[in-house]
Amino acid sequence: MSIDRAQVLAWMDEDPDPETREELQALLDIDDEAGLEDRFGERLEFGTAGIRGALGAGPNRMNRALVRRVTAGLADRLNQAAGAAGARGVVVGRDARHKSDAFAADAAVVLAGAGLGVWKFSDIVPTPLVAYAVRTLEAAAGVMVTASHNPPADNGYKVFGPGGRQIVSPLDEEISAAIDAVESLNDVPLAQPDDDLIWTVPADVPEQYLSQVVALVGGPAERRITIVYSAMHGVAGAMCLRALDEAGFIDVHAVAEQFEPDPDFPTVSFPNPEEPGAMDASIALAQEVEADLIVANDPDGDRIAVGFRTAGGYRMLTGDEIGVLLAEDILARGAMTQGRTPAVATTVVSSSLLSKVAAHHDAEYAETLTGFKWLAVAAIDAEDRDAIMVLSYEQALGVCVGDLVRDKDGISGIVAMADLADRLAADGRTLGDLLDDLTIRHGAHVTQGRSVMLEGDDGEVLVQAALDRLRSNPPTSLGESPVIQVWDHDAGVVTSADGTVEPIDLPPTPLLRYVAEDGTRVMVRPSGTEPKLKFYGEAVHHTKSNDPTAARHAAAGKVGAVLDAFMARAQGGAKV
């Protein structure tokens, strides 16, 4: 594919950033066809999570010209939807990544230029605060400039709809179409930065958020535990420490070298608490101060990591363990219900343990597609039934505690986990002891994830071939247990071993799920952004000797073996 030089020059003419104009001029000067094709061959895709990618010039990179174009499309869609959108305004926040300040400023002047009011934060903020502000200010939408826990070279643009929840289809397609309809940026009206339509988010909004986070755990109390906290070079540090302090946690030690926002993330190879090595500095400090609890946010503050002290050191919890521990605690205490029926929710690729915890406490349970955009829908559905979502989570370290926001919130999640650990400590117990209780009651539920990249020119073809292979020749057993259900979420049907076929009450998505008689499950789906297959496995093992450690070890061995065999089958090798 050859890129038209006139197309590049036209983009440069509209680009307000001298750095990216110079980048393109340098490529033109040396006739770098590959470099130009990489930047102009396609546009970064706008989806339900907004848009995200590497910084650089052209429509296939994150840059000021693209942000203006995306914002112009968003503004057009909002103005089409409701005449009141302008008065309600759009909340705009940003993290501390490279170019985030410029992107947020561009978003504000484009929105105001389109006649929309703009509620703009004056400084860096964590993502949950933007979601909260959209809901509290009853804004028409929200924009958060962030790439969450992506590498330093990336940035992104996340869109919240009314109520502060992520957008869902078909709104993402409608916004994407509006973006494509923007002809020339030179014709997009821009307001001045001090325009009357650009307002500062009231100072009482973050104060209200903090007070409501503390209220989730019953307010300040006398605390016993020592905590280590890492902000992972992100923007949640100051607010999270304030929330912990106002909840009564005074013995908190921040990882100093990771506390200040730094877009280069110098102490970690990948700024994601799930990645190997990301929590090493936190564990080292915890050992030094003999901390009871380790907590961390990802760079934009919407995810959490949690670890606790054991006899042999520190153990980091999985996302599933964090979710079920919080659910067990909230439901057992009858907390956060506001007099309504409690509900909990998670996603199809998370552990099935949450459903059993919910049943034990007579709570409603919902299972959604992956992503908090769908968990927010479940919260709204619960509200329509006069129930209340007290806890929702996804296995990738995202939790939403209570009904404060309609997205994952790493700040309230950390305060809730600290509160739970502190109350357990008062009884001489730990998070590990509560996990043991759940294992004895419901069996050990161990989840593992794997992925395989099918690279090359035909990578996407290989991904589809693997899914087709599983559909045409599904496994009849997982390990030693026969398969009793096959869920084809793309076709929207679940087929039982007796041949019964029933519809799946979820939107279609390319996901296959296999459930065995003993509770073992395997799920596979393609990545939405690269030629990769993602595998999710879960094994359940019931202890007969009240030995939760042995039960977890047995379940871990089972799920690992099943995943190895299943991955081989998907790629045309050994059978399960």
CA 485 to chain CA mean position, Å:
28
Q: Residue 567: what residue type?
A: M
What sign has the CA pseudo-torsion 484, 487, 491, 493?
positive
Beta partners for residue 10, in sequence order? none
- 148 as an active site residue: the answer is yes
Q: Where are the domains of the chain?
A: 5-202, 205-442, 443-570
Phi, psi of 245, rounded to the nearest 5 degrees: -65, -45
- Which strand (E) or helix (H) includes residue 404? none
Rounded-to-integer distance, Cα 178 and Cα 281, Å: 45
The pLDDT profile of the chain, 576 residues, written as one tens digit per residue, is 578 899 999 999 999 999 999 999 999 999 999 999 999 999 999 988 899 999 999 999 999 999 999 999 999 999 987 666 678 999 999 999 999 999 999 999 999 999 999 999 999 999 999 999 999 999 999 999 999 999 999 999 999 999 999 998 888 999 999 999 999 999 999 999 999 999 999 999 999 999 999 999 998 999 999 999 999 999 999 999 999 999 999 999 999 999 999 999 999 999 999 999 999 999 999 999 999 999 999 999 999 999 999 999 999 999 999 999 999 999 999 999 999 999 999 999 999 999 999 999 999 999 999 999 999 999 999 999 999 999 999 999 999 999 999 999 999 999 999 999 999 999 999 999 999 999 999 999 999 998 887 766 677 788 888 888 888 888 999 999 999 999 999 999 999 999 999 999 999 999 999 999 999 999 999 876 667 889 999 999 998 888 999 999 999 999 999 999 988 888 775 444
Looking at the domain 443-570, which fold is it? TATA-Binding Protein (3.30.310)
Contacts 24+ apart (CB under 8 A), 521-528: 521/352, 521/478, 522/475, 522/478, 522/562, 522/563, 522/566, 523/348, 523/349, 524/466, 524/467, 524/470, 524/566, 524/570, 525/349, 525/370, 526/463, 526/464, 526/467, 527/451, 528/47
Which of 100, 148, 351, 412 is flagged as catalytic? Answer: 148
Global pTM value: 0.95
**Could you check whether 205-442 and 443-570 share the same CATH topology?**
no
C-alpha neighbours within 13 Å on the C-beta side of residue 440: 10
Q: Helix/strand/coil (H, E, C) string of 272-334? A: CCCCCCCCHHHHHHHHHHCCCEEEEECCCCCCEEEEEEECCEEEECCHHHHHHHHHHHHHHHC
Peptide bond into 510 cis (omega under 30): no
Q: Which two tokens stand for residue 357?
A: 């915890």
Q: Does domain 205-442 have CATH number 2.60.120.200?
A: no
CATH architecture classification, 5-202 = 3-Layer(aba) Sandwich (3.40)
